Amino acid sequence: MQLRYSFRLYPNAVQQAALAKAFGCARVVFNDAVHAREGARRAGQPFPTAGQLSRELITEAKRTAGRAWLGEVCAVVLQQSLRDAEAAYRNFFASLKGTRNGPQLGAPRCKSRKDHRQSIRFTANARWKITDAGRLDLPKIGAVKVKWSRALPVTPSSVTVIKDAAGRFFASFVIDTDPAADAERMPQTESTIGIDLGLTHFAVLSDGTKIDSPRFLRRAEKKLKKAQKELSRKQKGSKNRAKARLKVARAHAKVADARREFHHQLSTKLISENQGIAVEDLSVAGLARTRLAKSVHDAGWSSFVNMLKYKAGRYARTLVIIGRFEPTSQTCSTCGTKDGPKPLNVREWTCSACGTVHDRDINAAINVKTAAGLAASACGAPVRPGAIPAQREETGSHGFPTGNRAA
């Protein structure tokens, strides 16, 4: 399995200018590829191949006066931008054919220079390296200072330099994990658990444990409201508005980082302590259209479940996701009697058949575990994700605004 190890970068002013130039050149090549394909489609001609685009948009374009500045950045960055365009079209056509899971994708669009998140990728043939002084030496950019939180376990296959909306820089390394080291890190266990996700409590476990919801967005609303109000009062196009926008972005980044840290810590704890984990498939998109939308987005259930998925695959754990229509809140976990639907304000109820008094959430978690046990016996295999993008790994995986933690 491939994972991403991300570390905070601190480029100086000259290096930031070089990175800005590389971001811009990569964006131009991507947009030229989109224009070339769109022009061929309108003319009724076959799409140009990757080799033709590389020759026309990079090699020959560097010899022209209008694109001569493409030679000022690493050629690998431009080639990887073309690969991104090819991947975008492959995903688009796969979505049209119905062979790609998820919502239908639209045709690739040109990138804007006003996009606040930008990235470039260096593969091994770019000859980037980590110096003896612990700096990341990138071609035509220089040796950039890195805030290392831990050592890389193996030599990375590529590195992506990212500038986020808050103006922070990160280096994201792709690492191939070692199954033997993962097995030693988290040995087999006999424990299993069922999880009921909610809003009052983020997670209730089948053993009775209740994990409170941190509500990071709710706690930061006052600060976010003030920053957003200041932004709305600034004149469009002014430098003060740019500063205010950066302040809003940093406030949102702090909330997102804290939420991601919480998800990583909890998912790692559950994976390390349990061999089998059961969770319910929630309709997050549907719940996000209700009056609970802000709280649902603040909880971040989908992100948490995705972390459970890839960590279960990495550490050979069994993860079972039961159907969203399973009546876990209506069924008595003691006798199995289905007692009918109940409004959300009913947190405790008594079974009409056996008289057992149930805590609504704990009873649901037990039923999730029971339903998953039946599903597990049918398939009998741990969840292992297929071909997926490299995942961020462990706590603090994308750094904090202070740069004190990264992974």
Other beta carbons within 10 angstroms of residue 273's beta carbon come to: 12
Q: 257, 280, 326, 393: which is the annotated catalytic residue?
A: 280
Q: Which two structure tokens, joined as six digits, stand for 67?
A: 């694109």
- What are 351's two structure tokens? 């079974």
**Cβ contacts of residue 296 below 8 Å, gap of 6+?**
199, 284, 287, 288, 290
- The string of DSSP letters for 78-94 reads HHHHHHHHHHHHHHHHH
| Calpha distance 238→268 (Å, rounded) | 45
Judge whether 361 counts as a catalytic residue: yes
Residues 315 and 393 sit within 8 Å (Cβ to Cβ): no
> What are the structure tokens assigned to 333, written together?
């976990």
C-alpha 334/C-alpha 353 separation (Å) is 10
Q: Is 196 a catalytic residue?
A: yes
Beta bridge partners of 2: 176
Catalytic residue among 32, 261, 298, 361: 361
Non-local CB neighbours of 7 within 8 Å, separated by 6+ positions: 146, 147, 148, 149, 170, 171, 173, 399, 406, 407
What does the alpha-carbon distance between residue 254 and residue 392 come to, in Å, rounded to a whole number?
17
Residue 292 CB neighbour total at 10 angstroms? 14
- Rounded-to-integer distance, Cα 60 and Cα 325, Å: 57
Catalytic residue among 32, 164, 196, 261: 196
Residue 286 CA to residue 293 CA, distance in Å, equals 9
Nearest CA-CA partner of 403 in 172, 166, 147 = 147
**CB-CB neighbours of 347 under 10 Å:** 11
Nearest-angstrom CA–CA distance, 130 and 146: 10
Q: Reduced to 3 states, what is the DSSP secondary structure of residue 310?
A: helix
Helix axes 301-314, 239-273, angle to 10 degrees: 50
* Beta strand pairing call for 169-176 and 2-10: antiparallel
Q: Are 303 and 343 in contact (CB under 8 A)?
A: no
Which residues are annotated as catalytic? Answer: 196, 280, 361
